[in-house]
Amino acid sequence: MVDINLFGTVIPTIVLSEIMAKQGYGSIVNISSMAAKQTISRVLGYSMAKAGVDIFTKWMANELASKFSDKIRVNAIAPGFFIGNQNRRLLTNEDGSFTDRGEKIITNTPMGRFGDASELNGMVHYLLSDASSFVTGTIYDIDGGFSSFSGV
Cα radius of gyration rounded to whole Å, the chain = 17
Residue type, 51: A
Q: Are 68 and 20 in contact (CB under 8 A)?
A: yes
Give the ranges where the chain is alpha helix by DSSP (H): 2, 8-23, 44-67, 88-91, 100-107, 121-128
Residue positions annotated with a catalytic role: 46
Cα–Cα distance for residue pair 68/16, rounded to 1 Å = 13
